[in-house]
Amino acid sequence: MRPKPSLGQHFLKSQGVVDRIIALAAVGKNDHVLEIGPGTGALTRSLVRHAGRLVAVEKDDALARQLREEFGNTPSFGLVHGDILECPMDGLVTPGMKVVANLPYNVATQIILRLAPLSRLLACIVVMVQKEVGSRICAKAGDSDYAALSVLLSSLFSCTPGFLVGPENFYPEPKVDSQVIKLVPREDPLPGADRGDYRTLVFTAFGQRRKMLRNSLLGLPGMTKNLLPELARLSGANLDARPQELAPEAFAKLFRAYRQIIDA
Ligand code: SAM
């Protein structure tokens, strides 16, 4: 079967890397695991062995057929043949579930953002992504990689870099390095951070990284110049700052103040 670049198909060929992913996620017999993009089954084979139950979602028709042939008789395995970006997530994710995957890089960010609002249900997310995406997700305020994605995910999860994986561990070899990251839901998720309008606020603030918040936040629905002093007072934020200077906690305060003003 010829790998399809359009589906981000880079298949793992290193059992060592598979073992490290399983160890980082600490997959055990009590775990219910969701694998996104099982592909030719490199990770799936080990997950089936270690987990209590595994549900895998694969978009590719030929690979889905192949996976059914190999794992169809395994009672602890379930295959969803479909697009993870279109599957209703609340039907897939069950309480305490672990997500373990080598994600298709072209849609990895979208997939993680779809999982984020379900953080309360999850035990952890351990995924391989492009190295740059991993650095962005795990960046802290003030780091050069700190971005909207860092804020959105650190508001809900504790995000830690796992280990780096070179192109030689895949077939075909990608042009980029990869990184396995681990996201564990925070015990104190920031209030409102799972909402769509929080996401809008964070993306609006970072839409123009070089601009001061007082300018970029004017792009928010209902926001006007004369509301800015009230926004600064209620949130305690310095609106002359650039978005990369604000920690996720400051964004959550900004969001609360914005909602208070708009809902008044
Ligand atoms: N897990 C396998 C491995 O490590 O060798 C394959 C990983 S490969 C990077 C990504 C897999 O995700 C491919 O099997 C691809 O067909 C699948 N995929 C791509 N887009 C998808 C989507 N939107 N929904 C579900 N699966 C998808």
Residue of 33, 58, 81 with the most ligand 1 atoms within 8 Å of its CB, for mutation: 58
Q: How far is the CA of 99 from the centre of ligand 1 (A)?
A: 14
- CATH 3.40.50.150 intervals, the chain: 5-185
Q: Evaluate if residue 188 carries a pLDDT over 80.
A: yes
Nearest to 159 by CA among 170, 171, 145, 172: 145
CA distance 132 to 179: 8
pLDDT at residue 264, rounded to an integer? 85
pLDDT per position as a tens digit, 222-249: 999 999 999 999 999 999 999 999 999 9
Centre of ligand 1 to C-alpha 225, Å, is 46
pLDDT digits (tens, 9 = 90+) for 103-135: 999 999 999 999 999 999 999 999 999 999 999
Confidence (pTM) = 0.96
Asked if pLDDT for residue 1 goes beyond 80, the answer is no
Q: For atom 10 of ligand 1, which residue has the closest CA? A: 104
Residue 209: band (very low, low, confident or very high) from pLDDT cuts 50, 70, 90: confident
Residue range(s) of every CATH 1.10.8.100 domain in the chain:
192-263
Residue 233, pLDDT score: 98
Which residue's CA is minimally distant from atom 6 of ligand 1? 39
Instruction: Report the CATH superfamily, name and number, of domain 5-185.
Output: Vaccinia Virus protein VP39 (3.40.50.150)
List, for residues 134-185, the tens digit of each pLDDT value: 999 999 999 999 999 999 999 999 999 999 999 999 999 999 999 999 999 9
Q: Give CATH superfamily name and number for 192-263.
A: rRNA adenine dimethylase, C-terminal domain (1.10.8.100)
Of ligand 1's atoms, which has the minimum distance to the CA of residue 104? 10
Tell whether ligand 1 has an atom less than 6 A from the beta carbon of residue 9.
yes
